[in-house]
Amino acid sequence: MKQRRANFASTVLALLCLALVDGCFGGSAQPPAAGGPPISDEEAIQFAGRADRFYRSLQGIPLAALITFEDPDRRQFFPTATAYADYYSGLATVARQNTLRDGAAQSVKIREFHFDGPDQVVVDYVVTGKHERKLRFWNIDFDRHDTWRRVDGTWVIVPDKL
């Protein structure tokens, strides 16, 4: 009888631990957000190519310069001129605060992106550049994240408000 109670108690304890671990760590993957079918591989590849083109366009240019802001090629990645101005202002401010030499990024690399639904993607990326003081020879990195949405079939960046 004591053996049965001990087995029952250990079984209950194991189930409670399992429930606790499942609650803390999520257990299984969450289903995709409602609102449409999951994204296909082709659509994901198209998005990745478009995002890669945008982030590569930020490399080797002065981020806080008027000539960079007025470049029409970068504006195509935003739904409106106001959205582009908001995004650019935030990016230029962070580049200036992080004391990038000449305000230029040596590299901009996507760390990861994940789909929050069929029409929204969050991209985490890192900007790397030299320190503006030449005696500080190490690189400076800062992380950013962008939200992309599909608007009329085209992926565009929807910036956070300042």
Percentages (nearest 5) of helix, strand, coil residues in the chain: 40, 30, 30
Q: What is the pLDDT of residues 81-125, one digit of tens each?
A: 999 999 888 888 877 776 666 666 777 889 999 999 889 999 998
Round to whole Å and give the CA distance between 142 and 145.
Answer: 10
Q: What is the pLDDT of residues 10-49, one digit of tens each?
A: 443 344 343 433 433 343 334 444 455 577 889 899 999 9
CB 106 within 8 A of CB 139: yes
Hey, where are the domains in the chain?
39-157
| pTM of the complete model | 0.69
Reduce the DSSP state of residue 55 to 3 states and report it. Answer: helix
The CATH number of the structural domain formed by 39-157 is 3.10.450
